[in-house]
Structure 1
């Protein structure tokens, strides 16, 4: 009898544990993205579609708020180093990137130079003239993390590419200028 009770206890607790794990997963997922109304409002202020808003994280770099907004039909943000003048840009636009299309797509403002492409994980490492970037395709958009090759090394851009994601509430707030106490 005692053996049966010991064997049944874990089976009886299994639904409780699974429910708790599912709830925990749900909480983490829901906290990952910014409130859609806030994201929609911010995107509208910038003049872009909400699905184009992405952010990244790289140790030692912060977003330059004045750079955030629309650039052509893309979302744009510049990240600058906290210790020197280096910076990289994040641009998000609609599209795809494949082995065939990668070398045909211009790399930032460098449109007349040959683009070389190297598949690196889920992203493409691209170079042209003195610029380089990681291009990350994601659900109908391509996130470009671009910099001057002489100022920002490939490892920084790769970290930025690996960390790119949709903003949470705090990250969305950090993209917007602080208006506390400012005249509007």
Structure 2
């Protein structure tokens, strides 16, 4: 089965030179639920916080996957021109009262306008916009700067967003590392993260 292309995004949200990389372990059909949950836990989230979507011209940015800092989930989608749309799932609820509060992903001066669009809210600042949709105790947010994606793109993305199934979890969640902790070194305090470059016994 042909796997979707996924764009590599650097942690600072700067695109690497148009490199398309496949994601997932390559064992989607045999993905075991306990393993998927362990992979979600490794990035400090849970499988029921992982949502995915689709947008014409945009693909998931592999290295952007993480929790939202509060046990939620976030992932960037990017196009080949460097435009980025952010998907974020966080705990909470959007209401008419709190919708205008705060900016959008660090964009704007804190002045946010809100309007209802079906079940979702459309939020805008001076230079960014966002769709916010209440889930079961969570809020799905899909946003970008005004220059990187238009309203129709964000609307389509929020409408197609859904909880990831096992195959999508396998494609989205980073694989577990064989070694989770730092490599220790003998002449520094334990856990400093430096490689062990001491010579073998009997040498030096």
TM-score > 0.5, shorter chain as reference:
yes
Find the structure with the greater CA-based Rg.
Answer: 1
1:90 aligned partner = 87
Q: Secondary structure at the match of 1:102?
A: coil
The reply to whether residue 140 of structure 1 matches residue 123 of structure 2 is no
Alpha-carbon spacing, 1:168–1:51, altered in 2? closer, same or farther (3 Å): closer
Unmatched tracts of structure 1, length 5 or more: 1-33
Aligned residues: 148
1:103-182 mapped onto 2 (5 Å cutoff): 103-110=100-107, 112-177=109-174
Alpha-carbon spacing, 1:183–1:100, altered in 2? closer, same or farther (3 Å): closer
Choose between structure 1 and 2: higher helix proportion: 1
Q: Secondary structure at the match of 1:104?
A: coil
**Two-structure CA RMSD over aligned residues (Å):** 2.3
Q: 60, 73, 76: which one pairs with 2:74?
A: 76
Unmatched tracts of structure 2, length 5 or more: 1-30, 180-204
| More deviation, 153-162/70-79 | 70-79
What is the distance in 2 between the residues matched to 1:89 and 1:44?
21
What is the distance in 2 between the residues matched to 1:51 and 1:94?
11
What is the distance in 2 between the residues matched to 1:137 and 1:97?
6
CA contact (8 A) 2:101 2:110 kept: no
CA contact (8 A) 2:102 2:111 kept: no
